[in-house]
Structure 1
Amino acid sequence: MSVTSEEINYLIFRYLQESGFVHTGFAFQNESHIHKSEYRNANVQPGALVSVIQKGLLYMDLELHVNEDGTERECTGPVALIGPHRCDKQAKKPKRDELVSRGNKRDRKDTKRAQKQQQEREKRAKMDADDEEKDEENMMDTDQVEDVSVVGTPAEMTDIPEVKIIPASDAITLKGHTADVFVCSWNPASPSLLASGSGDATARIWQIPANTDEPLKEPIVLKHLPALTDNNRDVTTMDWNASGTLLATGFYDGQARIWTQRGQLRYLMSQHRGPIFALKWNKKGNYILTGSLDHTTIVWDATTGDAKQQHEFHTGAVLDVDWLDNTTFATSSSDGKVYVCKVDSMDPLKVFEGHKDEVNAIRWDPLGELLASCSDDRTVKIWSMAQDECVFDLTAHTQAVYDMTWAPREASSRILATASFDTSVRLWDANTGDCLRVLSRHVEAVYTVAFNPAGTHLATGSPDYTINIWRVQDGALVKTYRGEGGIFEVDWNSTGDKLAACVANGTLVVAHIKL
């Protein structure tokens, strides 16, 4: 194993180019004679230098904390390239596999889904056993073993209006990813431009045709740096800026990236020391907020790619972030707490405590007056900056609440939709705390909910392979689509005529919706 100075020089040169240091890179290229090197045309993944350094830090971490007998020494102190390392012996350091299992949102989904599937299997087995026992009793009573049939209609299917199945002719299947597709995001300014993120270490930008019979162009592939193992190659989160000119992505390697519409990497942002689970642009587009397994949130200057400030309030993985305005934001964590913070202030404005388990999602309402949070503790809470206690504690769900969304400002009332592992979606009146509707046609956990731009309809997705579209006014199920894999996320385009869904089989489905 050997490393040459030419290789190091080339990686430094690529880092300077990717970071936007054009003049410095040009000077370094000439002084180091990279243009004459055999590596001048080498195919190197973006972020290669940072990746090598991160792997070196992991090795240093292991070297410092693994005893001769192979056991791992307890320590949560950071290992840095510069400066001595001092072990933090006060806190117990989780094992690496525990960190990955506890941190990866997809793993938590899969675990909860497996639990739900096991429950369903046990329930079906019990029902089958009961049916067999009843059949045996009926046969004994009638002394008829053959020609026994039961004709009937399930009670739950009576008095239910006909649901329109979205035909395959109204849907486009986008193929190209080689692993599960976890996230997708429509461009807010271009209703035909869709971004997707997958476990294959890529994001893709698709140009969706106006009609399903038009040819589909090849997507722009945004290649991310492969993480340490094949299981940790997830593009975990993404978000377009308000003007739709730039796409930000978060990756399992702890790096955030800013891309142009044409797929050019503008900035590589590396300061987190764990996977990024949440990422949001502010409305102005000058800041990006990220949250990570490393318990911290970082505010990035989107014009330079530099970290402006890093908050370390949480004691668990940061699972979600959301902006109230251009400088005020909220963060939620597996520690059960919600913090409200402000740019240029190192002290939180507010700490909301009350959840008894990890807080999966937080959302400011469109008016910027209320903050909703949902948790594994089966509750949804609505908070106000005017008080410390929650305004409403919504406790009707019977299992973890994973996702939620507010009806857009255009809607006539302040409605919050919540999705739970109890297979239901609930619509709440945030002015009174009352549950307006219970939407319960899914047969497995509901992972994702999204209002159309007008706020008249709600789309839901589940690992039961089904996308449902509900009418908000009366809770009626008006359209449904059955895919070929579990649904991780759904998203409407800005005009409300297309609905995208991320599928566990490595594809995306884009349905043309006529309401």
Structure 2
Amino acid sequence: MTGARKLLVHHLKNSMQSLQEAQKLSGHTERVWCVSWNPSGTLLASCSSDKTIRIWGKEGENWVCKSVLTDAHTRTVRSVSWSPCGQYLAAASFDATTSVWSRKGGEFECLATLEGHENEVKSSSWACTGSLLATCSRDKSVWIWEVTADEEFECASVMSTHTQDVKRVKWHPTKELLASCGYDDTVRLYREESDDWECCNTLKGHSSTVWALDFNQTGNRLATCSADCSLKIWQEYEPGNAEGVNTTDNISVWKCVCTVSGFHERPIYDVSWSTLEDLLVTAGGDDSLCVYREVLTADAKNSPKFEMVARVRGAHAEDINSVVWSPSEKGLLASASDDGDVKLWKLLQEA
């Protein structure tokens, strides 16, 4: 069998996969907006319009609710995110505040409530160092908070480069580089320069609201998803790159190298890039989950191609707001929906 033939057979085998529901986690009484794994994959946090945060953990073969965090917010809790050390959990709320929870001895306590945004806080994200926390809001701003040695939070910068509601913030996995996206159809990248933070890149290409974004494991690619029903892959070109892409002021350039469309029929609300495999998953308003894998090509860096390897239609009963791969178990992911449920899914190879 020739090398090309072997590659084709291997590719076809990889293409035949299925997503199977592993468990439904019920407990929230209203829509669930976000799910987030702790860094070790031993806990899953979820948040809801019911103003609570639930912490799920595994007992035997099943996942159960370990804790319900209440009384920190007066309105919807929109997103949750874990710090890199797994000791802290940030929760962004429509009440214009962000709560920070500390986990000590298995118990959670509200450590701080961050105020300053003028309107609903939509997302939060921790930098890889754990010393910075970013938040974004309907007030069109992105805030960066410094975490002090005595567990206090101080605002380091307020950036108002978006012209409309900012939907999501996400830090680079290995550098203090922050990405945001929003209702103005753009993606922005920020870095610290001369003791202040500045927008160093504006990525345009989507034709409607950019709902979410996620870096790959190495951070040289960024995936974005939009109400235009497309998934875009952006590639980083560093100064002095072999491709000859022009850069200025010693700042990397990010270019869209791939657009994946035709699989979702309504807005794509979330995207997650697995840290264990080169897999992407998207979720959206059509109640579908789609898993993609990169196809090997001659120019994989500059012209990558992605194929859908698994899809679940009717995954929940309503819109799916959040989806995220487990950081510790290959093929395991969690999703959250307007139907009030959290679901766990397993990607399996079809026979």
Cα deviation, 1:125-171, whole Å, max 9, x if unaligned, reads: xxxxxxxxxxxxxxxxxxxxxxxxxxxxxxxxxxxx987572xxx62
Does 1:245 find its partner at 2:91?
no
SS in 1 for 2:271: strand
Question: Is the Cα–Cα contact under 8 Å of residues 77 and 92 in structure 2 kept in the other structure?
Answer: yes
Cα contact 1:297–1:310 (8 A) shared by 2: yes
**Residues 349 and 391 (structure 1), Cα distance of their counterparts in 2 relative to 1, 3 Å cut:** closer
Structure 2 residue 39 is the aligned partner of structure 1 residue 192: no
Q: 1:480 to 1:306 in 2, by over 3 A?
A: same
Give a deviation string over 1:189-218, Cα, whole Å, max 9, x none.
2x2310001111111111133524xxx544
Q: Is the 8 A contact 2:136 2:169 kept in 1?
A: yes
Q: Could you list the per-position Cα deviations for residues 438-458 of structure 1 after superposition, in whole angstroms to 9, with x for gaps in the alignment?
A: 673x55444333344332544
Please tell me whether residue 221 in structure 1 is matched to residue 68 in structure 2. Answer: yes
Q: Is residue 58 of structure 2 the alignment partner of residue 208 of structure 1?
A: yes
Match of 2:191 in 1: 341
Q: In the alignment, which residue of structure 2 is the partner of 1:448?
A: 270
Task: Specify whether residues 378 and 186 from structure 1 end up closer, same or farther in structure 2 by C-alpha distance, changes over 3 A only.
Answer: closer
* Pairwise CA distance, 1:479: 6.5
User: Quick one: which of 310, 316, 330 aligns to 1:483?
Assistant: 316
* Aligned 1:128-143 pairs, distance under 5 A: none
Separation in structure 2 between the aligned mates of residue 196 and residue 314 of structure 1, nearest angstrom = 27
Aligned partner of 1:17 in structure 2 is: none
Q: Does 2:29 match 1:178?
A: yes
Cα distance, 1:385–1:329 mapped onto 2, change above 3 Å: farther
Over aligned residues, Cα RMSD in angstroms? 3.5
Partner of 1:234: 76
Shift of 1:385: 6.4
Q: Which residue does the alignment assign to 1:501?
A: 335
Between the aligned residues of both structures, percent identity stands at 22
User: Cα deviation per residue 1:60-107 (whole Å; 9 max; x = unaligned)?
Assistant: xxxxxxxxxxxxxxxxxxxxxxxxxxxxxxxxxxxxxxxxxxxxxxxx
Q: Which residue of structure 1 aligns with residue 299 of structure 2?
A: none
Q: Is the 8 A contact 2:225 2:268 kept in 1?
A: no
Alignment match, 2:178: 329
5 Å-filtered alignment, 1:332-371, equals 332-336=181-185, 338-342=188-192, 345-346=195-196, 348=198, 350-352=200-202, 354=204, 358-369=209-220
More deviation, 363-372/482-491:
363-372
Question: Which one of the candidate residues 258, 264, 267 is aligned to 2:112?
Answer: 267
Using the TM superposition, give the Cα deviation of residue 174 of structure 1 relative to its aligned residue in structure 2, in angstroms: 1.2
Q: Deviation of residue 172 (structure 1)? A: 1.8
Q: CA deviation at 1:470?
A: 4.9
Map 1:379-394 onto structure 2 (within 5 A). Answer: 380=232, 382=234, 384=237, 386=239, 387=247, 392-393=255-256
Give how far 1:264 is off. Answer: 1.0
CA offset digits 1:425-471 (Å, max 9, x no partner): xxxxxxxx356x7673x554443333443325443333443434455
Change (3 A) 1:343 1:205: farther
Q: CA, structure 1 residues 480+210, in 2 after alignment: closer, same or farther (shift >3 Å)?
A: farther
2 CA distance for matches of 1:364 and 1:258? 24
Listed one character per residue, the Cα deviations across residues 309-352 of structure 1 (whole Å, up to 9, x for unaligned) are: 32334443323323245543233443455252317633625242
What's the CA shift string for 1:479-513, capped at 9, x where partnerless?
Answer: 64733333222212122253211022111112345
Contact 1:287 1:299 in 2 (8 A): yes
| Distance 1:471-1:276 versus aligned 2 partners, 3 A rule | same
Contact 2:227 / 2:266 at 8 angstroms: preserved in 1?
no
Please say if residues 469 and 480 of structure 1, whose CA atoms lie closer than 8 Å, have aligned partners that are also in contact.
Answer: no
Q: How does 1:380-419 map to 2 (within 5 A)?
A: 380=232, 382=234, 384=237, 386=239, 387=247, 392-393=255-256
Contact 1:471 1:477 in 2 (8 A): yes
Work out whether 1:462 is the aligned partner of 2:284: yes
Relative contact order higher in (CA < 8 Å, ≥ 6 apart): 2
- The number of residue pairs the alignment matches comes to 302
Is residue 195–residue 204 contact of structure 1 (8 Å, CA) maintained in 2?
yes
**How far apart, CA to CA, are the structure 1 residues paired with 2:67 and 2:344?**
17
Q: Which amino acid aligns with 2:66?
A: P
TM-aligned CA distance change 1:489 to 1:196, over 3 Å: same
Separation (CA, whole Å) in 2 of partners of 1:164 and 1:507:
21
Q: Equivalents in 2 of 1:351, 1:456: separation in Å? A: 25
Q: Judge conservation of contact 2:163–2:184 (CA < 8 Å) in 1.
A: yes
1:219 to partner: Cα distance? 3.1
**Given the alignment of the two structures, is residue 492 of structure 1 paired with residue 314 of structure 2, yes or no?**
no
Task: Select the structure of larger CA radius of gyration.
Answer: 1
Bigger fraction of residues in strand = 2
Relative to 1, partners in 2 of residues 1:493 and 1:363: Cα closer, same or farther, differing over 3 Å? closer
Output the amino acid matched with 2:337: V
TM-score by length of 1: 0.51
SS in 1 for 2:84: coil
SS in 1 for 2:54: strand
| Equivalent position of 1:309 in the other structure | 157
Contiguous gaps of at least 5 residues in structure 2:
1-14, 240-246, 296-305
Query: Would you say 1:319 and 2:167 are equivalent positions?
Result: yes
Equivalent pair of 1:491/1:499 in contact (CA under 8 Å): yes
- TM-score normalised by the chain length of structure 2: 0.71
